[in-house]
Chains A and B, each alone.
Chain A
Amino acid sequence: MNNPGPRLVEVRKNVLKQNDLVARTLRARFFDRGIFVVSLVSSPGTGKTSFLESALRLLRSRFRVAALVGDLATDNDAARLARSGAPVKQITTGTLCHLEAAMVESSLEGWNTGVLDFLFIENVGNLVCPSSYDLGESLRVVLLSVTEGEDKPLKYPTIFNGADLAVITKMDLAAAVEFDEGAALKNIHAVRPGMQIFKVSAKTGAGMDQFLDFVVQQRPRASGSGGLAATH
């Protein structure tokens, strides 16, 4: 029989394979060098940059830290973070709504941060798109501010489910906006049972130590060279 019709061939390929490969390579590189990588995801306006600025300041007395920050168009965040004194590099994504592993990889090229213990990656403010992309981080933190509404986790379950821990920010405003803490915790646990949750105020500093102590404890005692730039 001569049948010119289409035939079905099995392929089985992960569409994000390329990103996952780059992310895996990055993760191995970070691990070898003893750098613990923490990424931050949230909606715009949650206070990622204030939170990160505070974290960098507090960690800098004890550790060598740096930050990569994704932003659509401006370098305002990088400028703010640089005030902490830590090395900061901007990834301008243009119209892209999320960071990808290859962007992290290329921004590390030739970036002379010296030896590092911690690298923070601030993703673009977006609760949808970043969830699909592994960046090679060891810990993914999702942030939720008290001003956003307690039901955010239920509206964006994918990003909350894919994160390793949650941070509730702007706790200093909780009373003013009648934040229902019980509901927020319940909703986070609904989409990610058992998830560790920290409550902080970057403004007053409340809760920052608990969060940072936890992050420091997560870092394996690996003693790599700590340098970031690829060795070609």
Chain B
Amino acid sequence: MHELSIAMSIVEMAEEEARQRNARVSAVHLKLGALSGIVKEALLSSYGIACDGTSLEGSRLVIEEVPVEVYCEACAVQRRLAPLSWFVCPECGAATPTIVRGKELEVTALEIQ
């Protein structure tokens, strides 16, 4: 369970941005890759705790889940993996070790007012 420390980092980051803009953050938008090692539900519940007593209290965390995309050398195209656990091209079956997307843990935008 390391989602709480991740949530605290997100809150810290958003507070810093809010200070610089002299604004209040009402929502944080986050990209969360399926290979980030973070569980969405745990992060959402941790976020509320991390916001307590900060200027972000009452704000929302909006999570955009990013599926794993790999590059298939045999097909020479990017493919989206359905089940996380099998790194093979869903079309041709070739092994696909090159990960293009899916490791994201990134604050993309803030809703401020």
| Partner pick for B13 among A8, A9, A13, CB 8 A cutoff | A13
B:58-104 near A, CB below 8 Å = 84-88, 95-97, 99
A98 engages B2 (CB within 8 Å): yes
| Partner pick for A129 among B1, B27, B99, B112, CB 8 A cutoff | B1
In the assembled complex, A175 has its CB within 8 A of some CB on chain B: no
B110 engages A15 (CB within 8 Å): no
A132 engages B37 (CB within 8 Å): yes
Nearest opposing residue in chain A for B35, CB measure:
A158
A89 cross-chain contacts in B, Cβ below 8 A = none
In the assembled complex, A176 has its CB within 8 A of some CB on chain B: no
A14 engages B37 (CB within 8 Å): no
Q: In whole Å, how far is B67's beta carbon from the nearest beta carbon of chain A?
A: 13
Which of A65-73, A77-85, A108-116, A187-195 lines the interface with chain B? A187-195
B2 engages A132 (CB within 8 Å): yes
A158 engages B37 (CB within 8 Å): yes
Nearest opposing residue in chain B for A195, CB measure:
B97
B35 cross-chain contacts in A, Cβ below 8 A = 157-158, 161-162
| A contact set with B: CB distance below 8 Å | 4-16, 18, 96-98, 128-129, 131-132, 153-155, 157-159, 161-162, 189-194
9 contacts between A and B (CB under 8 A): A11-B108, A97-B1, A98-B2, A132-B38, A132-B105, A155-B85, A161-B35, A161-B87, A193-B95
Beyond the given A7-B111, A9-B112, A194-B95, please list 13 additional residue pairs across the A-B interface where CB-CB is below 8 A. A5-B113, A9-B21, A11-B110, A12-B106, A12-B107, A12-B108, A16-B6, A129-B2, A132-B2, A190-B85, A190-B86, A192-B97, A194-B97
